[in-house]
Amino acid sequence: MSQAVELPKWLDVVVLPLVNLLMALAVCALVVAGIGLNPVQVLTLLVKGAFGSASGLSYTLYYATTFVFTGLAVAVAFHGGLFNIGGEGQAMMGGLGCALVALALDQHLSAPLLLPLMVLAGALFGMAWALVPAALQAWRGSHIVITTIMFNFIASALLAYLLVNVLKEPGNMTVESRGFSEAAQMPGMHQALAWLGIEWPRTPLNLSVLLAAVSAVGVWLFLWKSRAGYELRAVGHAPEAAHYAGINPRLQVLVAMGISGALAGQVGLNELAGVQHKLLLDYVVGAGFTGIAVSLIGRNHPLGIVLAALLFGALFQGGAELAFEIPAFSRDMVTTLQGLIVLFSGAMARVAAPALAKLYQRLRPAGAAHA
């Protein structure tokens, strides 16, 4: 039976999460060794693939961009006391909004006008998709975990329907929309750096990464430096006390999920406006779920989330490189590690606490024994 174990703050904030992460990595290393690969070699190649070249680094940052958006989305909802598993569906709908604006206006507007509109549309569509489960939670008491899962499936069916029946070009066999014109394409990092006279390899990394950075700062300012953010955290932390202090808990559910959905909606900007330049099926590929892992190891703090997103970006990029070099290695190892991290850093986050407390009792200097 694990009672709540009291640990000194530095152990609780720094050491325990590290121990949990190490346990996940250790189990993953066992799996790697189990299928006959050398974990040290795999790790070396992985780090080299993710950071060893300008191109590898760019891919890492490109993946990290998506994970910052979905990680922040999970974190904002979490601070409001809600578990948003619907990032996947909200990202799909955000991408749909982004693409609809692009398809409707890319012949009429220029990029400086159109791209902000696409950001806005992505945010609004993602927000709208999150607000329905939010309203059902706030007014009808429907469990938001279940409704957001259901909304992921409904989003995927809706996207498939629209692509097959409405947005697909006649005569095209693949299920995708027509391509966006230049005006609706987010400039790639190689283009942006070329304007400044810097040469950079051509990769999927695009200027959405700047929006991700701004979003992280924005979420930090909102949660810890604004009255609205304080109210949101108050409801998440102590709903009864917040209600007594005059904060409307129902409104806060809408605020938390609305912002959460708007953030998840930006996945479409990075993937569709930045890379694919068209609307297609399955461009979210689990990013919403990776956001849960990112938020968990980032401890729901924007700085932690940026670092965790970089970690996952490196894992996805390094994993892709590895799959090229070692045929026996599959990228699904990264999904496995992601699951292990959610297991050890999330569901079993406190399992190591008693052992750590015991170790600390034994090792700390004798003078401080009776604190």
Partner 1 sequence: MLETMMGLLDPVFWGGLLASTLRVSVPLVLCALAATLSERAGVIDLGLEGKMLMAAFAAAATGAATGSLPLALAAALAVGVALSMLHGYACVSHTGDQVVLGMALSMIAAGLTVVLGIAWFKQGGQTPPLSDAVRLAPWGTGLATALQALPVVGAGLGTVLGQGLLGHNVLVYAAFALVPGVWWLLYRTRFGLRLRATGENPAMVDAAGLSVKALRYSALALNGALCALAGGYLVLAQNPSFVPNMTAGRGYMALAAMIFGKWHPVSALWACLLFGFLDAAAIRLQGVSLPALLGGGAVPVQAIQALPYLLTVVLLAGFIGHSRAPAALGVPYLKER
Interface mask (CB under 8 A) for partner 1, residues 24-63, using x and -? -------x---xx---------------------------
Work out whether 250 is an interface residue with partner 1 (CB under 8 A).
Answer: no
| DSSP sequence for 100-164 | HHHHHHTTTS-HHHHHHHHHHHHHHHHHHHHHHHHHHHHHH---HHHHHHHHHHHHHHHHHHHII
Q: Following CA atoms 177, 178, 179, 181 in sequence, which dihedral angle do they give, to the nearest 10 degrees?
A: -120
Q: Which of 22, 54, 146, 251 binds partner 1 (CB under 8 A)?
A: 146
Q: Which of 154, 175, 183, 281 binds partner 1 (CB under 8 A)?
A: 154
Work out whether 171 is an interface residue with partner 1 (CB under 8 A).
Answer: no
Pairwise CA distance, residues 81 & 89, whole Å: 20
Q: Which of 67, 69, 283, 289 binds partner 1 (CB under 8 A)?
A: 289
Q: Which of 175, 213, 307, 351 binds partner 1 (CB under 8 A)?
A: 351
Work out whether 359 is an interface residue with partner 1 (CB under 8 A).
Answer: no
Work out whether 140 is an interface residue with partner 1 (CB under 8 A).
Answer: yes
Work out whether 205 is an interface residue with partner 1 (CB under 8 A).
Answer: no
Work out whether 335 is an interface residue with partner 1 (CB under 8 A).
Answer: yes
Judged by CB under 8 A, the number of residues near partner 1 is: 51
Residue 54 neighbours by CB distance under 10 Å: 13
Work out whether 7 is an interface residue with partner 1 (CB under 8 A).
Answer: no
Q: Identity (one letter) of the amino acid at 12?
A: D
3-state secondary structure of 350: coil
Phi, psi of 206 (to 5 degrees): -135, 180
DSSP assignment, residue 344? I
Work out whether 191 is an interface residue with partner 1 (CB under 8 A).
Answer: no
Work out whether 157 is an interface residue with partner 1 (CB under 8 A).
Answer: yes
Give the CA diameter of the chain: 80
CA distances to 128, 206, 214, 284, 302 from 93, rounded to whole Å, are: 9, 21, 22, 10, 24
Work out whether 151 is an interface residue with partner 1 (CB under 8 A).
Answer: yes
Residues in touch with partner 1 (CB under 8 A): 1-3, 31, 35-36, 83, 85, 133, 136, 140-143, 145-147, 149-151, 153-154, 157-158, 160-161, 164-165, 289, 292-293, 296, 328, 330, 332-340, 342-343, 346-351
